[in-house]
Structure 1
Amino acid sequence: MGDARNSIRDTLRDAGLAPGGELPPLILVACSGGPDSLALALAASFFARRGDYRVGAVVVDHRLQPDSAAVADSARGKLEQMGLAPVLVRQVSVPESGMGPEAAARTVRYAALDAVVEELGADAVLLGHTLDDQAEQVLLGLMRGSGTRSLAGMPAVRGKYLRPFLGLRREQTLEICRHAGLDPWHDPSNRDPAYARSRVRTEVLPFLEDKLGPGIAEALFRSSRILSADADYLDTVAAQSFEELRAAAPAGSGTDSEELLLPEAQLRNLAPAVRQRVLALAALSLGGSQPSYERLAAVQSLLRRTGSAGPVQLVGKVSVYRQPRAKSVHHGASSYGNLVFRKKSST
């Protein structure tokens, strides 16, 4: 419990939320009724009793299990017994979509949490993800062949969402619940082999621990912290480089245009890791979606061509082609060798 309280205290202070004052900051705990979030709520209640923070909770009922309403009501009762206030239950409907059930549930869950934050004027929401969750996230990123940002796992701080338990093991949250006499709910989907995350949790990580020895989860967590720092730095450098290249673009290309030109000579001079991020930023600036690794590789291949080349189609109706030197461009300006990002008009 001491580790749990210290983690919450440090995370809140790192987020700039100082304790106390005439009206202490309002902190909400996102609670499913499971061991991680119940342990988080119990540890956070300590700061409410001391008057450091006002601590409430939100229980999101996804209505995916037959007894979900009873589970949510039970969680609310436990949270109120801890002294948390207010404790709100929000029911959501998880739509059938192409993003998959886990992603769809996550989307509506965060929408419900966002609404409560705005309704109550909350300063932060605590999430109960643990070191084990982070290790699973890194393995899933490896399976997808994702980049540095994905392998960095879940951030400890993202806006008002804080994850103070990323340095704690799942077994520690179970021990906190046992010691406090709490009877947490165990989500059956966490052991459902239909979900990749469940297979990583129940099969892959135990297999790695068995074959390679203990400490795999901790090693994956350390890797995520290193990669997170690397990704933050590269993203900062890429954002600066993108602004510099956009400023050097020919007249007629800008944020209000449906066409963006980036000088190819300067693009070639960028480090590959930075160049890839700059190209993604260009697509995003025109309203496109984050391009896949394969699509970005296709865009970068345009820089190895001579003469005009392309277009490469990206998600979000954005296309990219190479405009050679001295050829006129869409807005009539003279080109000096550019990659042209063009957003297809919706009209």
Structure 2
Amino acid sequence: MLSPDVAAVRLAVRTALAPLEGSDATVLVALSGGPDSLALAAATAFEAPRLGLGVASATIDHGLQAGSADVAARAAAQARDTGIAEARTVRVEVAVGAGPEAAARDARHAALRAVAAETGAAAVLLGHTLDDQAETVLLGLARGAGAGSLAGMSPHRLDERGLAWIRPLLAIRRAQTEAFCAASGLEAWSDPHNHEERFSRVRVRRTVLPLLESELGPGVADALARTAEQLREDNEAFADMIDETIEDIVEHVDAGIAISVSALAANPPALRHRIIRHVARSEFGASLTRTQTLEVARLVSGWRGQGPIDLPGFTAAREAGLIRLVARS
């Protein structure tokens, strides 16, 4: 009899891959050897051929722990045992001096993009679960990073090269992937870093979420994941509104962009602030804080003749009915 957890994981993968059915595309599984990615690899090896898709896997060896090459080789061997013939391992160098989590993630994603290009993969599959999503939302809440951060991880996004990054397991609990591996005879690797309290995500996983479940009752992780889904819908709607609006209210000026004051004033604050942040990010590569965004917005709604505002890489000033955002020389 098929285990309910195996059935649930396979269904999640089949649903995520359904848009690619019959395309003869290849999908690349990002395989760490842990229970989440191992369950994802085994389920993909089962479902992808039934949808007319090819499968490859890539295990990234960050070289940050003793024996990491052996762990990577073992993960690749288990991928082959599940039916993934094209199972690669890639050693990467993690930048020294950067935050270890962010640096490892950047190196891993670069390696996955390279393997995807080499194998002709149309999509990279990532093994993040509902529990990972809940942790991400809590970390974003603690940083006060706004709705964009609370929207968590997207189940499907296209990067600038047209490569799809898909997370089929965002509705699957971590306990289900562990049960999948047990039912399938797969021995998952336990990452020692997942037990090191110096990492904020580990503290959320081992202390904060269990405390919330204990004090508020079960279902906190599910509620956080639902919140992320709802906020992603809101963000997508706002993004569409900005795309429809921005071409009509901005114009290029020397070394920058000018935005119509009257047009900004006609929009509600939520959309006004998003337009300001969008222009700052797209034109100057700057991520404005809430305080910085409000300072620029006051040039629209609370202008009393104040002068230019210094911002990361550019200045903002009101002149002749326009908010001029100009790069600093």
TM-score norm. by structure 1 comes to 0.88
Mapped partners of 1:4, 1:183: distance in 2: 17
Offset at residue 279 of structure 1 (A): 0.5
Deviation at 1:190, TM superposition (A): 1.4
> Equivalent residues in 2 for 1:78-89 (5 A)?
78-89=78-89
1:177 Cα deviation after fit:
0.6
Contact kept in structure 1, 2:14 and 2:48, CA below 8 Å: no
- Which blocks of at least 5 consecutive residues in structure 1 are unaligned? 324-334
**CA distance in 2 between partners of 1:277 and 1:305 (Å):** 18
Shift of 1:48: 4.5
Unaligned runs of 5+ in 2: 1-5, 159-163
> How far is the alpha carbon of 1:142 from its aligned partner?
0.5
Report what 2:223 is aligned to: 219
* Greater C-alpha Rg: 1
Of 208, 229, 232, 2:233 maps to: 229
Q: Answer 1 or 2: which has greater helix percent.
A: 2
Task: Give the drift of 1:121.
Answer: 1.1
CA deviation vs aligned residue, 1:283-315 (integer Å, no higher than 9, x gap): 223233221212111211222444543322222
* Secondary structure class of the residue paired with 2:39: helix
- Aligned pair partner of 2:263 in 266, 283, 291: 266
The TM-score with structure 2 as length reference comes to 0.93
> Is the alpha carbon distance of 1:288 and 1:45 closer, same or farther for their aligned partners in structure 2, counting shifts above 3 Å?
closer
- For 1:320 and 1:96, the matched residues in 2 are separated by 35
Q: Distance in 2 between matches of 1:97 and 1:149?
A: 27
The corresponding residue for 2:27 is 27
Q: 1:183 aligns with which of 175, 181, 187?
A: 187
Cα distance, 1:245–1:186 mapped onto 2, change above 3 Å: same
Mapped pair 1:196 → 2:200: yes
1:12 aligned to 10, 17, 25, which one?
17
Paired amino acid for 2:9 = A
SS in 1 for 2:71: helix
User: Do the aligned partners of 1:288 and 1:314 also contact (CA within 8 Å) in 2?
Assistant: no
Tell me if 1:314 matches 2:319: no
State the alpha-carbon separation in 1 of the partners of residues 288 and 175 from structure 2. Answer: 38
Task: Find 1:285's aligned residue among 275, 282, 285.
Answer: 282
- Provide the C-alpha distance between the structure 2 equivalents of 1:27 and 1:288, rounded to a whole number of angstroms: 31
Larger deviation: 301-310 or 209-218? 301-310
Aligned to 2:248: 244
- Match of 1:340? 324
Give the partner amino acid of 2:283: L
Cα 1:242/1:51, change in 2 over 3 Å = closer
Identity %: 40
What's the RMSD between the two structures over aligned residues? 1.5
Task: Report the more deviating stretch, 159-168 or 278-287.
Answer: 278-287
8 Å Cα contact 1:242/1:281 also seen in 2? no
Q: CA deviation at 1:78?
A: 0.6
Q: 1:165 aligns with which of 164, 169, 187?
A: 169
Deviates more, 1:48-57 or 1:152-161: 48-57
State the AA in 2 paired with 1:228: R
Q: Deviations over 1:96-140 (max 9, x none)?
A: 244x11111111110000111111110111100000000001101
Residue 51 of structure 1: how far off its partner (Å): 6.5
Matched residue pairs, number? 319
1:132 match: 131
Higher relative contact order (CA 8 A, sep 6+): 2
2:29–2:126 contact (8 Å) kept in structure 1: yes
Instruction: Give runs of aligned pairs for residues 29-108 of structure 1, distance below 5 A.
Output: 29-48=29-48, 50=50, 52-98=52-98, 100-108=99-107
Residues 320 and 342, structure 1, Cα contact 8 Å, conserved in 2: yes
Report the Cα offset of residue 266 of structure 1: 1.4
Q: Could you tell me whether the CA contact under 8 Å between 1:55 and 1:84 is conserved in 2?
A: yes
Amino acid at match of 1:7: A
- Which residue of structure 2 aligns with residue 119 of structure 1? 118
What residue number does 1:151 align with? Answer: 150
SS at match of 1:137: helix
Cα-to-partner distance string for 1:224-279 (whole Å, 9 max, x where unaligned): 11111011101111222221101xx4xxx35xx41211111211111111111111
Q: Which runs of 4+ in 1 moved over 3 A?
A: 48-51, 304-308
| Residues 191-214 of structure 1, C-alpha deviations (whole Å, 9 max, x = no match) | 211111110000000000111111
Provide the C-alpha distance between the structure 2 equivalents of 1:157 and 1:279, rounded to a whole number of angstroms.
Answer: 26
AA paired with 2:106?
T
Residue aligning to 2:109: 110
Deviations 1:43-82 (A, max 9, x none): 1111255472211100001111111111001101111111
Q: Residue 300 of structure 1 is aligned with which of 297, 302, 314?
A: 297
Equivalent-residue separation in structure 2 for 1:39 and 1:26 (angstroms): 18
Aligned equivalent of 2:3: none
